């Protein structure tokens, strides 16, 4: 008894260490930034209420757990059900990556590509009902589709192992275990930064202004001879591809894929909270909103035992997290609907020159 | 088989209550309430608390649950939705607000379940009321009670809507709000009333739901798909449509999965919600106005014309 409590004490001290907190914030900031950026294209710029964001993230994880794992099973000639066989695949792959780290890099690139493709296809199919539905119906339908797919992948053991989940190879199998989290933080941050820059380039192009025009008034866009449906399909496919990358990275980080990690609250509601907190349709707002959200979330999870002792809570702190973030969202909607940073017009190159001259 | 049908009817009755509530607030305030499922679970916990702490039988707790739910609905409207509607917030923002409310409720219910478990000495994160149900003439009590509730509700609604001045004002403000305002109807009363009724119907359904299935704090997130499917099948514009939608979704979710399970094995039973989703999509493609919006006479005439 004493020994186990001593171990628990030590475990708590490790998890409370500053480096660990910072690394955790970095990883979650990167992951959530990717998702909130993806939602910002669709909702912030395009005005599409994608209440099924979690589905694209889940698809990224399914791409790793179901598609890539099965391809590797075929490659190595491993048979059996996905739950056991993925463990075997993980063992073989980890050995290979240990011998040659480049295989890990190749594996990462393959995984991200497959995830992005799976996300894009899912997104393009998901948005098709919008051709006939008004905004309300669309939001409800997307949420229902996302929720049902979540349930299927949780109950059905043949997709990603149901409630057992599937294993995922470790792309940093060659690194010592204490370096793994550092390498991952770097990987996630670099990926998020690349996506940030790429999306910024895409959204400052005429396409970004087209999206904002669609958000404000679809009829005007139609009058100008643009096909609104085609814009929507492209936008949601792009957004979902980006969100799927976050799902894939998360699976690579946790080394397994299990449907329960991809719920509606974590990957649909929280991203909406982040972009509404920071400011809809503006990149700096998304950056700030995501950072503040992750900071609160990580501090809450890190100090959950202290919080429980301090307030003598007799329940799990996850409920407290839900209450806090739900109320935060309501406060934003009621008192600061424009978010922390207000939306600015898109500065194109000629406009930047004009602004400079004015100054 | 009899018990399966009995269970399906009970479930449909409760789903109809939830869908009627959802449709009602959608008609009067234009809010698609994603918290309707959590309203129901709130009702389940009100009833559970009365049972555990004061030894009140769930059936006798119904009036209290009804009132508590009504207050919850009115509170949600006054504190959150009315200010947003006054500001002219987009419908997506209203939906996000109800999602946030749903999350707050989920958090409070989850925390409360832990608390209730501690003070009553019995776990409250998972519970079921079936041991408290009694049989009358070989028919389960919940079957009779849920049917009684539906009949009572329809009778009261019919009387209220067609025999009172308030009902006429209510119908007017549902069908043509701006004209109703011109005629001197105060929309605020009808909105408050609809939120009260919506909340109380949801908690009523929630108090009876543990007689049919196990309740956990997150049950709301699972049944919301069925509630929306039922409301959309009903057309989201008509209370009777919601009633029909409740039965269409409730019966097919239970009976179709049961039939499929006899062919494909019991694994299918988990996928009841897939049936709801398929019906939802079919209705949206074939009759976007919902079943109540279809002009059945015209369909029949077309059919006859095609046949003859």
Q: Residue A16's pLDDT is what?
A: 58
**How far, in Å, CA of B91 to CA of B258, rounded?**
38
Q: Is pLDDT above 80 for A323? A: yes
Please state the rounded mean pLDDT for residues A292-311. Answer: 88
User: For residue A57, which of A249, A192, A198 has the smallest C-alpha distance?
Assistant: A249
Our count of domains for chain A comes to 1
Across the interface, of B92, B106, B113, the residue whose CB is closest to A49 is B92
**How far, in Å, CA of B202 to CA of B73, rounded?**
9
Predicted structure pTM score: 0.91
* Nearest CA-CA distance, residue A5 and chain B, Å: 23
Q: Is pLDDT above 80 for A24? A: yes
Across the interface, of B104, B225, B284, the residue whose CB is closest to A137 is B284
- Average pLDDT in chain B: 88
CATH number, residue A265: 1.10.3470
Q: Residue B272's pLDDT is what?
A: 81
Across the interface, of B97, B114, B224, the residue whose CB is closest to A315 is B114
**How far, in Å, CA of A69 to CA of A87, rounded?**
10
- Average pLDDT in chain A: 89
To the nearest whole percent, how much of chain B has pLDDT over 90? 51
Q: Do A49 and B95 touch (CB under 8 A)?
A: yes
Our count of domains for chain B comes to 1
Q: Residue B303's pLDDT is what?
A: 65
Measured in degrees and rounded to the nearest 5, phi and psi for residue B48 equal -60, -40
Q: Is pLDDT above 70 for A245? A: yes
Cβ-Cβ contacts under 8 Å, A318 against chain B: 110
Q: Residue A293's pLDDT is what?
A: 96
Q: Is pLDDT above 80 for B155? A: yes
Within 115-134 of B, beta carbons closer than 8 Å to A belong to 115, 118
Q: Residue B9's pLDDT is what?
A: 93
pLDDT greater at residue B301 or residue B104:
B104
Q: Tens digits of per-residue pLDDT, A26-71?
A: 999 999 999 999 999 999 999 999 999 999 999 999 999 999 999 9
Please state the rounded mean pLDDT for residues A3-25. Answer: 67
**How far, in Å, CA of A321 to CA of A331, rounded?**
15
Within 36-75 of B, beta carbons closer than 8 Å to A belong to none
Q: Residue A8's pLDDT is what?
A: 53
Q: Residue A161's pLDDT is what?
A: 80
Candidate ranges A190-199, A303-312, A345-354; pick with highest mean pLDDT: A190-199
**The two three-digit tokens of residue A332, written as one number:** 């934003």
**The two three-digit tokens of residue B166, written as one number:** 């308030």
Q: How confident is the model at residue B161 (pLDDT cuts 50, 70, 90)?
A: confident
**The two three-digit tokens of residue B223, written as one number:** 């049944």
Q: Is pLDDT above 70 for A12? A: no
Q: Residue B308's pLDDT is what?
A: 37
Q: Is pLDDT above 80 for A183? A: yes
DSSP H stretches of helix in chain B: 2-29, 36-54, 62-76, 82-86, 91-120, 141-163, 165-175, 177-182, 187-208, 219-234, 239-251, 257-264, 272-286, 296-307
Q: Residue A64's pLDDT is what?
A: 93
ipTM score of the complex?
Answer: 0.89
Q: Is pLDDT above 90 for A164? A: no
Q: Is pLDDT above 50 for A112? A: yes
Q: Tens digits of per-residue pLDDT, B172-201?
A: 887 788 888 888 888 888 899 999 999 999
Q: Residue B240's pLDDT is what?
A: 87
Q: How confident is the model at residue A9 (pLDDT cuts 50, 70, 90)?
A: low
Residues 6+ apart with CB under 8 A from B232: A137, A140, B245, B280, B283, B284, B290
Q: Residue A246's pLDDT is what?
A: 97
Please state the rounded mean pLDDT for residues A314-320. Answer: 82
Q: Which domain holds residue B180?
A: 2-307
B224 in contact with A, Cβ within 8 Å? yes
Q: Do A144 and B288 touch (CB under 8 A)?
A: no
Please state the rounded mean pLDDT for residues B237-258. Answer: 89
* Interface A-B: count of C-beta contacts within 8 A: 134
Q: How confident is the model at residue B98 (pLDDT cuts 50, 70, 90)?
A: very high
Residues 6+ apart with CB under 8 A from A345: A351
Candidate ranges A7-11, A80-84, A348-352, B1-5; pick with highest mean pLDDT: A80-84
In three-state secondary structure terms, B148 is: helix
Q: Tens digits of per-residue pLDDT, B71-83?
A: 999 999 999 999 9
Of the listed ranges A182-186, A225-229, B27-31, B261-265, the one predicted with least confidence:
B261-265
Q: Which domain holds residue A77?
A: 2-358
- Residue B140, CA distances (Å) to B6, B51, B179 in order: 8, 20, 48
**How far, in Å, CA of A58 to CA of A261, rounded?**
9
pLDDT greater at residue B92 or residue A14:
B92
CATH number, residue B179: 1.10.3470
| Mutation choice for B interface testing from A326, A329, A331, A338 by most B CBs within 10 A | A326
**How far, in Å, CA of B15 to CA of B11, rounded?**
6
Q: Do B288 and A141 touch (CB under 8 A)?
A: no
**How far, in Å, CA of A240 to CA of A79, rounded?**
32
């Amino acid at each position: 008894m004493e020994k186990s409590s001593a171990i628990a004490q030590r475990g708590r001290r490790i998890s409370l260490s500053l480096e660990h907190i910072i690394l955790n914030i970095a990883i979650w900031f990167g992951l959530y930034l990717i998702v909130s950026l993806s939602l910002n294209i669709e909702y912030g710029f395009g005005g599409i209420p994608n209440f099924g964001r979690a589905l694209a993230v889940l698809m990224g994880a399914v791409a790793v757990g179901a598609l890539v794992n099965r391809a590797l099973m075929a490659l190595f000639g491993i048979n059996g059900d996905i739950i056991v066989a993925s463990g075997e695949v993980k063992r073989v792959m980890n050995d290979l990556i240990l011998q040659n780290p480049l295989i890990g890099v190749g594996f990462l690139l393959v995984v991200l590509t497959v995830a992005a493709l799976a996300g894009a296809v899912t997104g393009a199919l998901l948005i098709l009902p919008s051709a006939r539905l008004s905004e309300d119906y669309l939001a409800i339908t997307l949420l229902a589709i996302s929720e049902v797919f979540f349930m299927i992948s949780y109950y059905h053991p043949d997709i990603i192992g149901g409630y057992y989940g599937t294993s995922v190879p470790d792309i940093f199998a060659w690194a010592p275990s204490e370096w793994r989290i550092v390498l991952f933080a770097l990987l996630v941050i670099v990926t998020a930064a690349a996506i940030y820059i790429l999306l910024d380039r895409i959204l400052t192009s005429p396409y970004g202004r087209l999206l904002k025009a669609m958000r404000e008034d679809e009829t005007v866009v139609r009058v100008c001879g643009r096909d609104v449906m085609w814009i929507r399909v492209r936008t949601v496919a792009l957004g979902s591809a980006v969100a799927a990358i976050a799902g894939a990275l998360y699976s690579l980080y946790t080394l397994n894929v299990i449907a329960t990690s991809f719920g509606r609250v974590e990957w649909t509601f929280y991203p909406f909270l982040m972009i509404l907190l920071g400011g809809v349709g503006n990149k700096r707002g998304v950056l700030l909103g995501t950072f503040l959200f992750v900071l609160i979330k990580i501090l809450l999870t890190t100090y959950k035992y202290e919080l429980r002792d301090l307030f003598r809570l007799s329940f799990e702190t996850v409920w407290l997290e839900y209450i806090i973030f739900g109320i935060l969202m309501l406060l934003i909607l009621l008192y600061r609907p424009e978010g922390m940073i207000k939306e600015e017009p898109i500065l194109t190159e000629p406009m930047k020159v004009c602004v400079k001259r004015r100054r | 088989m009899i018990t399966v049908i009995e269970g399906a009817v009970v479930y449909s009755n409760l789903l109809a209550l939830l869908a009627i509530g959802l449709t009602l607030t959608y008609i009067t305030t234009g809010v698609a309430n994603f918290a309707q499922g959590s309203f129901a679970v709130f009702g389940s916990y009100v009833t559970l608390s009365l049972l555990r702490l004061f030894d009140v039988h769930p059936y006798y707790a119904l009036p209290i649950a009804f009132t508590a739910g009504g207050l919850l609905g009115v509170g949600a409207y006054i504190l959150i939705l009315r200010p947003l509607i006054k500001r002219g917030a987009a419908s997506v923002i209203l939906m996000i607000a109800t999602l946030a409310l749903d999350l707050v409720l989920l958090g409070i219910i989850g925390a409360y379940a832990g608390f209730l478990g501690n003070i009553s000495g019995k776990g409250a994160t998972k519970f079921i009321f079936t041991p408290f149900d009694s049989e009358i003439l070989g028919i389960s009590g919940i079957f009779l009670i849920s049917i009684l509730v539906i009949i009572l509700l329809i009778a009261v609604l019919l009387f209220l809507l067609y025999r009172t001045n308030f009902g006429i004002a209510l119908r007017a403000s549902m069908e043509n709000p701006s004209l109703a305002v011109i005629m001197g109807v105060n929309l605020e009363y009808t909105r408050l009333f609809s939120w009260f009724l919506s909340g109380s119907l949801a908690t009523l359904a929630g108090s009876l739901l543990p007689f049919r299935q196990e309740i956990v704090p997150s049950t709301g997130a699972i049944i919301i798909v069925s509630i929306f499917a039922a409301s959309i099948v009903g057309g989201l514009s008509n209370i009777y449509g919601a009633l029909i939608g409740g039965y269409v979704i409730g019966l097919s979710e239970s009976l179709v999965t049961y039939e499929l399970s006899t062919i494909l094995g019991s694994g299918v039973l988990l996928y009841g919600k897939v049936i709801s989703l398929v019906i939802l999509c079919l209705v949206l493609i074939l009759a976007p106005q919902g079943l109540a919006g279809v002009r059945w006479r015209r369909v029949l005439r077309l059919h006859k014309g095609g046949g003859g």
